[in-house]
């Protein structure tokens, strides 16, 4: 392992800003995509259930 | 033998996809963990690019996925056109957003690598420009779909657009050979093998497989949403108790 300390690790040999922006942006995109899909699924199922249970009654959704 | 054709109907594919998603997701997360560990703690510092090179552990997998997903999307679009299969068009539709996301990430992480190494966030070189065009192509496929109300016409138009655009993928891939680009040549090649340290290569390949499995999981999840949204009253995805309730309510 090449890191002497935790701050060494975060500094990334002076390239910390670039390295961590890349990894954090990738992680955020993935988390956002999964959350967006989860919300989309909840919405789609609610709409489908409402339609199945008799049209306009929102309380059954 | 598994009879694959029986899964080509949405009714059969929907529950199958639902069962597969957790497996792809779990293996993707595990491989990402191992890949990140190898990338940050096992792979050595690059003698030329210092620690900045570690961006490749997300940049290269994202760039590969951006091209690979485009081809897969075009293949599904082609199958949809050939067989007039609804499920194929829905698969193509489900792939586009994830492909666009990886294209965006490839460009963003590329800029993060370009600034410290070349001194510029962006240059109009063949590799970068063709990858930017790929992002516009994904956007075009998605916009074309949302701009056409008739579902069949939307399917076919975006499929044609996707199929025509597939010519850009070999252009991106070979751009570093065909033109004198600022972007470096391939670090991993089928003809010359790898020019990297074994641990760097292993970490990069682990991240690639992880991104691939992640893509499968989110695309399957998205195609399930699309099925529910597009098929009117897909009773087959509801639990028997809910259907019973609906029947009694009528």
ipTM of the complex in this document: 0.87
Judging contacts by C-beta atoms under 8 Å, the chain B residues touching residue A30 are 214
pLDDT of residue A8 exceeding 70: yes
Whose CA is closest to B39, among B179, B225, B230, B207? B207
d(CA B200, CA B34): 13
**SS3 (DSSP) at B43:** coil
Q: What is the pLDDT of residue B12?
A: 83
Tens digit of each residue's pLDDT (9 = 90 or more) over B134-173: 999 999 999 999 999 999 999 999 999 999 999 999 999 9
Polymer length of chain B? 250
- For residue range B45-95, what is the model confidence (pLDDT) as tens digits? 888 888 999 999 999 999 999 999 999 999 999 999 999 888 999 999 999
Instruction: List the single residue in B with minimal CA-CA distance to A20.
Output: B55
Distance CA B221, CA B25 (A): 11
Reference B127, options B176, B66, B185; nearest CA is B176
The winner for highest mean pLDDT among A7-21, B191-205, B212-226 is B212-226
- Give residue B76's pLDDT: 97
Per-residue tokens: A36? 């967006």
Q: Which residue ranges make up each domain of chain A?
A: 23-61
The full set of domain ranges for chain B reads: 16-249
pTM, entire model? 0.90
At B48 the pLDDT is: 82
Q: Which fold has domain B16-249?
A: 1.20.120
Tell me, yes or no, if A45 comes closer than 8 A to chain B by beta carbon.
yes
The H-assigned helical ranges of B10-85 are 10-37, 56-83
Q: Which residues of A touch B101 (CB under 8 A)?
A: 29, 33
Between B2 and B69, where is the model more confident? B69
Which of B107 and B233 is assigned the larger pLDDT? B107
Instruction: Summarize pLDDT for B32-44 with one digit per residue, the tens.
Output: 999 999 999 999 8
């Amino acid at each position: 392992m090449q890191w002497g300390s935790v701050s060494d690790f975060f500094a990334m040999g002076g390239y910390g800003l670039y390295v961590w922006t890349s990894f954090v942006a990738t992680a955020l995109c993935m988390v956002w995509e999964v959350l967006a899909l989860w919300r989309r699924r909840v919405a789609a199922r609610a709409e489908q259930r409402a339609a199945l249970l008799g049209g306009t009654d929102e309380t059954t959704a | 033998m598994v009879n694959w054709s029986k899964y080509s109907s949405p009714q059969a594919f929907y529950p199958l996809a639902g069962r597969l998603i957790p497996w792809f997701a779990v293996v993707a997360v595990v491989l990402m963990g191992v890949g990140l560990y190898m990338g940050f703690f096992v792979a050595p510092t690059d003698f030329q690019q210092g620690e900045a090179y570690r961006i490749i552990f997300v940049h290269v997998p994202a760039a590969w996925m951006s091209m690979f997903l485009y081809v897969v999307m075009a293949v599904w679009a082609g199958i949809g056109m050939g067989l007039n299969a609804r499920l194929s068009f829905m698969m193509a539709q489900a792939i586009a957003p994830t492909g666009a996301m990886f294209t965006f990430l490839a460009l963003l992480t590329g800029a993060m690598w370009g600034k410290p190494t070349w001194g510029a966030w962006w240059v109009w070189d063949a590799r970068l420009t063709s990858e930017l065009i790929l992002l516009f192509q994904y956007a075009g496929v998605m916009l074309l779909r949302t701009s056409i109300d008739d579902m069949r016409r939307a399917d076919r138009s975006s499929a044609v657009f996707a199929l025509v655009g597939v010519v850009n993928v070999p252009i991106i891939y070979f751009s570093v050979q065909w033109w004198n680009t600022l972007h470096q040549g391939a670090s991993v090649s089928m003809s010359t093998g790898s020019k990297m340290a074994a641990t760097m290569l292993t970490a990069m390949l682990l991240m690639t497989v992880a991104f691939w499995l992640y893509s499968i999981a989110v695309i399957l999840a998205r195609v399930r949403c699309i099925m529910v949204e597009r098929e009117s009253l897909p009773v087959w995805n509801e639990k028997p108790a809910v259907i019973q309730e609906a029947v009694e309510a009528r």
